[in-house]
Structure 1
Amino acid sequence: MRTDKTPSVLRSLLLITRPSLQSTLLLQALKKRFYNDVTLEHCDVVDSEIVDDGDLLLFDMQSIDSQAMHQWCFALQNCPKQFKVLLFNTPQHYHNRDIVEWPMISGVFHTETDEEHLIDGIKNVCRGEKCFPKVINDYIVQQLNLSHPQWNECVELTRREKEILCKLRQGASNIEIAHLLFISENTVKTHIYNLFKKLSVKNRTQAVFWANRNLR
């Protein structure tokens, strides 16, 4: 019997779906495998106020309709918190351009993914990794390259900026970075603002992509 549980920097897991026998069983499996708080939220009730810094949002794409998808995307795009989004039970026909509209997207799992692989994927996301099928990952990289050709690749970063950029690559929130580096959250925000300005990027995703291309 597997007893490993994955401690992570995530605050809690929000399973966003419709209540059913299947979703209840998945909820129980998640609670057994993770130290984090795990709650089930109804996908038709769009409320970004339930999201806190460090949360991982698990969207059941078989349960949520297109209208609710757009509402959730819009609400999360305007949410000031730092979180991660993972889509599971994702149909093959769900277009890549719709996937990249989700803010803080960190993983996608199609309908044929079994529970064990889904949980392994959640663990990887908790460790700061991304979990995308190759075709989706290639699309994301392509869009970043096409949309942002003017990034500043020749830039000198301070030691602290490099430390914070490293934490961003690991998926840490502002609060987590502050705790890890023993500085205030406002100081973290100032460093991140300066980083974005130096790198000529607009958000954390672009900053991480810049780091993956330019830093060892």
Structure 2
Amino acid sequence: MQTDKNLSDLRSLLLITRPSLQSTLLLQALKKRFYNNVTLRQSDIVESSTIADGDLLLFDMLSLETQTSQQWCQHLQNCQKRFKVLLFNTPTQYHHRDIAEWPMISGVFHTETCEENLIEGIKNVSRGEKCFPKAINEYILQQLSLSHPQWNEFVVLTHREKEILSKLRQGASNIEIARLLFISENTVKTHIYNLFKKISVKNRTQAVFWANKNMR
């Protein structure tokens, strides 16, 4: 088998799913195509400490309950590594907004995607491409500014803005932020509006991406 340089540079592909005969067969197929650089992680164990720079995280959406999916999203938003997230076995009714909440989202594959197309999509993502179904491609690119990000990286945030941005990274709502910081919800809205304008983002998802990239 001829080695693809881009794939050989891949640190690791993490298949995050429930152990089963189907997942075992997929794991074997992935190892064959990705030179054994693949490991299986249980989807119900939310853990990001072992994720390394350059990893691809392949989530089996049929193995994730709604609450577990949200926990993974929040956990990964606070992860300081540079990784890429791919979702497979994604139900067609899974809302675009929920897809956009995944940090570093780079590929989405629906339940009807065959194994060969899934593997080809993973290879494309590992080379730096994005792999989204046409129905959600425009939405994802618009929400995350994946194609031409215009974020303002050189800004000075106030202490309050840093506090609010930190709460956004934790997935807190405006009401929760107001309660935690002992300020009114309207004050929170004003701070968020000014913060988004200062760092040149349009929504909370982009703000979290900006924070993950620029805040430590």
- Which TM-score band applies after superposition, normalised by the shorter structure? 0.5 to 0.7
* 1:196 matched residue in structure 2: none
**Deviation by residue 1:153-182 (Cα, 9 ceiling, x = unmatched):** xxxxxxxxxxxxxxxxxxxxxxxxxxxxxx
Amino acid at match of 1:51: I
CA distance in 1, matches of 2:144, 2:85: 18
* 1:137 matched residue in structure 2: 137
Q: CA deviation at 1:143?
A: 3.0
RMSD across aligned positions (CA): 2.7
Amino acid at match of 2:103: P
Shift in CA distance, 150/107, structure 1 to aligned 2, threshold 3 Å? closer
CA distance in 1, matches of 2:132, 2:120: 13
CA distance in 2, matches of 1:140, 1:17: 24
Structure 1: 5+ residue runs without aligned partners? 153-198, 207-216
* 1:6 matched residue in structure 2: 4
CA distance in 1, matches of 2:93, 2:133: 14
Amino acid at match of 2:14: L
The yes-or-no answer on 1:113 pairing with 2:116 is: no
Alignment check: 8 A CA contact 2:100 2:143 kept:
no
Instruction: Give the TM-score normalised by structure 1.
Output: 0.65
Q: CA deviation at 1:37?
A: 1.6
* 1:94 matched residue in structure 2: 94
Alignment check: 8 A CA contact 1:54 1:82 kept:
yes
TM alignment of 1:179-190, pairs within 5 A: none
The yes-or-no answer on 1:126 pairing with 2:126 is: yes
Amino acid at match of 2:4: T
CA distance in 1, matches of 2:34, 2:208: 26
**Deviation by residue 1:24-49 (Cα, 9 ceiling, x = unmatched):** 00000000001362000000000011
Higher Rg: 2
Classify the secondary structure of the residue corresponding to 1:48.
coil
CA distance in 2, matches of 1:23, 1:107: 19
Structure 2: 5+ residue runs without aligned partners? 153-198, 211-216
Q: Percent of counterpart pairs with the same letter? A: 70
CA distance in 2, matches of 1:132, 1:200: 25
Q: CA deviation at 1:141?
A: 3.0
Instruction: Give the TM-score normalised by structure 2.
Output: 0.65
Between Structure 1 and Structure 2, how many residues are aligned?
Answer: 156
